[in-house]
Chains A and B, each alone.
Chain A
Amino acid sequence: MASGLSRGAYSGRETKLYYNSGTHAVPAWTEIPRGKNIQVNDGPALSEIEFHGASSTGNIPGYDKFSGSYEYVRKRGTDAVYAALKSARRNKNIVVLRHLNQDISVSGADGWDAPVLLGESASTANGGEGVMETFPFGKADAFDSNGDSVEVEDVVIA
């Protein structure tokens, strides 16, 4: 084995998803250990313009958007994480998600923090597959106690 080499790519299973179960000022990050297939759409919507006299179309950027979804594999019996997520969705509470490329305890782990609202879920129970629920989310219009807007941030653990 050659020394001085490190792996570049990483897989989805190595990433970790958390939600804040504390306060905004002092977060307490609870892992969502049964989450999978985390998908995020981030960036501006593009509007295609058909210019008169031009041979090809061009695009202009519209509003930035942050939204996505993750699947949650249901657990038999008590499942506090699922209960918390379901409660947040039912009550339309803002959930701050953190998705990192490593465990939160690792210095240098990076990813994003996002205040989101959870939307209409679809759940599936099919044959031999695990029973799952899909949680779609979209960036919330969120403000902290100082009245400052809370935005999506790319974060790295110091």
Chain B
Amino acid sequence: MDQVTTNKRVKVKPTVAIRVADLKKLKGLSKEQQEWCDVVATNNPPGQVVHVDKEFVGSLQSKPGVKLTDEEVQG
């Protein structure tokens, strides 16, 4: 065999579970963050649990407001 191509697995970022309704409680978001929250709130009912990049959720919580991951949410 001239060439061997191995199957590459892409490492994807770990996620945390948040409840969509809690996104509305966040304050002081940037325009991009607010737009993202609006997309997720449009595509999901308020009670839905979604799994989101842990770092991004951390950045959403960096401003004073409501923590998204205080309570353990069940998928």
Contacts and interface: CB of A to CB of B under 8 A. Distances in A.
Interface of A: 18, 21-23, 26-31, 33, 78, 80, 84, 103-105, 107, 110, 113, 153-158
A31 B75 CA distance: 7
B44 A30 contact: yes
Contacts of B10: 113, 153-156
Interface string B7-40: 1111111111100000000000000000010011
B72 to A, nearest CB: 11
Interface of B: 7-17, 36, 39-40, 43-45, 48-53, 56, 75
A157 B16 contact: no
Contacts of A157: 11-12, 14-15
Given A33-B75, A105-B15, A157-B14, A26 B9 contact: no
